[in-house]
Amino acid sequence: MSWISGVGLTPFGKHPGRSTLDLMSDAAAAALADAGLERRDVDGLICGYSTTLPHLMLSTLFSEHFGLEPRYAHAIQIGGASGFAMAMAAHLVVESGAAKHILVVAGENRLTGQSRDAAVQTLAQVGHAVYEVPLGAIIPAYYALVASRYIHQFGHSERDLAELAVLMRAHACANPGAQFGEPITVEDVLASKPIASPLKLLDCCPVSDGGAAFVVSRDPTDVSRVRILGAGQAHTHQHVSAVASLTQFGAEASSREALGQARVELEDCDYAAIYDSFTITLAILLEEIGLAPRGGAGRLAREGHFSPSGRMPLNTHGGLLSYGHCGVGGAMAHLVEAQLQLSSRAGKRQAGSPRLALLHADGGVLSSHVSLVLEAAD
Amino acid sequence: MTSGDPIRDWTQGEAAIAYQHCGACGAVWYFRREFCPRCGTREPATLQAGGRGTVYAQTLVHRAPSEALRSRVPYLIVLVDMEEGFRMMGQGDARLAISDRVLARFEWFGDTLVPYFRKREE
C-alpha cells in the first residue's frame, strides 16, 4: 500500500517563456506544499520525459535544479500512459522500502516551446518510421483508423463521440485552470475543422504547456488520506498496423489486474479518471473497461451518467480534451483531480463523496495501458 | 532476411510490397526482421505480395504533418488485410470504405513512392 500525500497542478494552456524545468518546478513545489513536506523529506524522484527538453537523465537534471538529493531516481517513457506508470512505479518502490516519499513530476512547454508542425511531427513518431510515418500519418490519423473500425463494429455516430467532448468542456468550464472555458455543443463539435475523419478538431485534445506532480508516500500524512490499492499494466503492440484487432485492446486486462489487486469490483467504484486524448479514445476505454456498454459511452454522457452529480463522475477537471494535454503531465492531471475528489477538496467541482476511483491511461495508439485503483481512507 | 536478399519493396524505393513467412511455425508478418517474432526461428522467408486485399480501416487526413505535404490534403490512409495474411498501411482512393476489395499500385507522395490502393472489380 502507498499514499498519495500531496498533489500539485499548474493551469494548462500557454505559459510563454516558461521552460520544462520551470513548469516541473512549479508543480513539484505545489505538491510538496500540499503534502506539508520539505525538499529534504523527499528521498525518491520519478519523472517522465519532455519533447522540448530531450535529455538522457531528466530525473537527476531536475533533482539538481529543484534542490533534491534522492536515494532513488529515474525517468519513465511510455507515452500518454507514463504518468500512471510513474505512479505505479512509485507505489511499488515505497512498498519495497527503498524510499519513503517519492516525488512524481512532469512538465513541458509543449505548446509555446516549439512550432505546431514540430509538435505534430514529434508525436507522429509513435508510428513506424519506415512503414507508417512516410505515408503522411499523424497521431490523429492513427486514432482515426481505430475509430473507423470501432465505429464500424459497434455503431457509434459522430454525434455520440461529440457528446464526450461536450462533457469534458462542461467540466472544464468549472475549472479556472483549464485551457478552454467556453461551453460547446454537439453541433460545434460536428462543425469543427476536419482533422482525420471521423475526428474533427474538437474531437482532439489540444497541445498545452503545463506541469503536474504528486507525492507517493509509504505512510499517510495528516493532510489527505488517499491510497493506491491496486495497479496493473498491459502492453500489446506499438504500431496500429501491428494490432491484432482494432476492437480489443489491453484496457480490460490492465484494469482487471488493478481491480483484482485492490480486491474490489468495478461496480464498487464511484469515480473514474480515464484518458481522453481523442473522443474515440475515451469511448473505447470506457467501453472496454466496462464503464459503458459497447457503443453506449456517448449516450451515457448525454444522460448525465458521467457528470459530477451522476452515477460515475468522470474527469471532473475537464480531461485532456478541455483541461489540456502537456504530455506526461496530461494523465497526471487526471490523478491529481481524483485525489482531490477522494479527499473532498475539489471545491465547486466536488462530486459528492467518492470513495473508490478507477484510473486508466493509454500510450502510443492504445499500445500501453496502465490502470490504478485509488481509495479514500478513513 | 539474409544479406543479399533480392526482395526489395516500397520502403527501399521499389514498386513492390514485401512480407515475411516463418517456415517453422507458419507465422506471417509485415515489418521486416531477421527472425520470427512468434517462435524466434532465424532467417524467415521474405516474399513479394500480390497487392490484393480488403480494407480493414480508413481515414481521410486533412491535416498534413509538414509544409511540404500541405498541398496533398486531403489524402486517404488505409489499413488493408492482404490476401497473404498480413495487414499493412497504405494510401488509397478517397472513396474507399471498410470491406472494399482493393489492389495496390504505387504513387509518389512527396519524395516517397508509396502503396496506393484502389477498388478492384471481380
> B74 contacts in A (CB within 8 Å)?
194
Please state the pTM of the whole predicted model.
0.97
Residue A111, CA distances (Å) to A17, A82, A108, B33 in order: 11, 19, 8, 37
Q: Does residue A122 carry a pLDDT above 90?
A: no
Whether A355 and A342 have beta carbons less than 8 Å apart is answered as yes
What order do you get walking across the sheet with A356-363 strand by strand? A72-75, A44-47, A101-109, A209-217, A2-9, A226-235, A368-376, A356-363, A271-274
- Number of folded domains in chain B? 2
pLDDT of residue B5: 56
Per-domain boundaries in chain A: 2-113+208-217
Query: What number of H helices and E strands is found in chain B?
Result: 0, 8
> B59 contacts in A (CB within 8 Å)?
141, 144-145, 147-148, 196-199
Question: What are the backbone angles phi and psi of residue A250, rounded to the nearest 5°?
Answer: -90, 5
> Which amino acid, one-letter code, is at A303?
E
- Point out the residue among B31, B58, B91 whose CB comes nearest to the CB of A242: B31
Dist CA B65 CA A227 (whole Å): 42
Residues B16 and B70 in one domain: no
- Point out the residue among A134, A138, A242 whose CB comes nearest to the CB of B63: A138
Residues B103 and B69 in one domain: yes
From B48, B67, B83, the end of a domain falls on B48
Asked if A134's CB is within 8 angstroms of B59's CB, the reply is no
Question: Is the preceding peptide bond at B74 cis, omega within 30 degrees of 0?
Answer: yes
Asked if A195's CB is within 8 angstroms of B62's CB, the reply is yes
- Point out the residue among A131, A148, A194 whose CB comes nearest to the CB of B58: A148
CATH classification of the domain holding B86 = 2.40.50
> A146 contacts in B (CB within 8 Å)?
57
Q: What is the DSSP letter of A369?
A: E
Q: How confident is the model at residue B65 (pLDDT cuts 50, 70, 90)?
A: confident
Q: Does domain A2-113+208-217 have CATH number 3.40.47.10?
A: yes
For chain A positions 195-214, those within 8 Å of chain B (CB to CB) are 195-199
User: Looking at CA atoms only, how far is residue B114 from chain A in angstroms?
Assistant: 7
User: What are the tens digits of pLDDT across the range B8-26?
Assistant: 999 999 999 999 999 999 9
Average pLDDT of chain A? 96
pLDDT of residue B30: 98
Q: What is the DSSP letter of A120?
A: H
Q: How confident is the model at residue B4 (pLDDT cuts 50, 70, 90)?
A: low
Chain centre to alpha carbon of residue B79? 8
Looking at chain B, the whole-number percentage of residues with pLDDT higher than 90 is: 85
Q: How confident is the model at residue B44 (pLDDT cuts 50, 70, 90)?
A: very high
DSSP alpha helix (H) spans, chain A: 20-35, 58-66, 82-96, 116-124, 139-154, 158-172, 186-191, 251-262, 279-289, 297-302, 328-342
Q: Exposed, middle or buried: residue A290 (CB in 10 Å: 0-12, 13-18, 19+)?
A: middle
Question: What are the backbone angles phi and psi of residue A140, rounded to the nearest 5°?
Answer: -60, -30
- Point out the residue among B57, B65, B89 whose CB comes nearest to the CB of A131: B89
Nearest 10 degrees: Cα torsion A233, A236, A241, A242: 160
Asked if B63's CB is within 8 angstroms of A241's CB, the reply is no
- Of the candidates A161, A51, A62, A87, which has an alpha carbon nearest to the alpha carbon of residue A333? A87
Query: What b/e readout covers A168-185, taking b as 16+ CB neighbours within 10 angstroms?
Result: bbbbbbbbebbbbeeebe
* Share in percent of chain A as helix, strand, coil (round to 5): 40, 20, 40
Dist CA A78 CA A69 (whole Å): 25
Comparing alpha-carbon positions, the chain B residue that sits nearest to A152 is B98
How would you classify the pairing of strands B52-61 and A2-9?
A: unpaired
Residues B56 and B109 in one domain: yes
Angle between helices A139-154 and A279-289 (to 10 degrees): 50
Comparing alpha-carbon positions, the chain A residue that sits nearest to B17 is A131
Residue B20, beta-bridge partner list: B29, B46
pLDDT of residue B3: 47
Average pLDDT of chain B? 94
User: What are the tens digits of pLDDT across the range A139-182?
Assistant: 999 999 999 999 999 999 999 999 999 999 999 999 999 999 99
Residues B38 and B65 in one domain: no
> B55 contacts in A (CB within 8 Å)?
none
Would an 8 Å CB–CB cutoff place A239 in contact with chain B?
Answer: yes
Q: How confident is the model at residue B1 (pLDDT cuts 50, 70, 90)?
A: very low
- Point out the residue among A128, A136, A148 whose CB comes nearest to the CB of B75: A136
User: What are the tens digits of pLDDT across the range A194-251?
Assistant: 999 999 999 999 999 999 999 999 998 877 789 999 999 999 999 999 998 999 999 9
- Point out the residue among A130, A147, A152 whose CB comes nearest to the CB of B11: A130
> A193 contacts in B (CB within 8 Å)?
62
Concatenating the DSSP letter of every residue in A241-310 gives GG-S-TT--SHHHHHHHHHHHHT--GGG--EEEE--SBHHHHHHHHHHHTSS-TT-HHHHHHTTTTSTTS
- Point out the residue among B11, B29, B59 whose CB comes nearest to the CB of A197: B59
- Picking from B19, B31, B32, B63 by the largest number of A CB atoms within 10 A of its own CB, the best residue to mutate is B63
User: Looking at CA atoms only, how far is residue A149 from chain B in angstroms?
Assistant: 5
Per the listing, cell 493532510 goes with: A223
Residues B58 and B115 in one domain: yes
pLDDT of residue A105: 98
pLDDT of residue B2: 47
Dist CA A295 CA A162 (whole Å): 13
What order do you get walking across the sheet with B18-21 strand by strand? B28-29, B18-21, B45-48
Comparing alpha-carbon positions, the chain B residue that sits nearest to A128 is B31
Q: How confident is the model at residue A125 (pLDDT cuts 50, 70, 90)?
A: confident
In which domain, by residue range, is B73 found?
52-119
Residues B20 and B41 in one domain: yes
Residues B28 and B69 in one domain: no
User: Looking at CA atoms only, how far is residue B121 from chain A in angstroms?
Assistant: 23
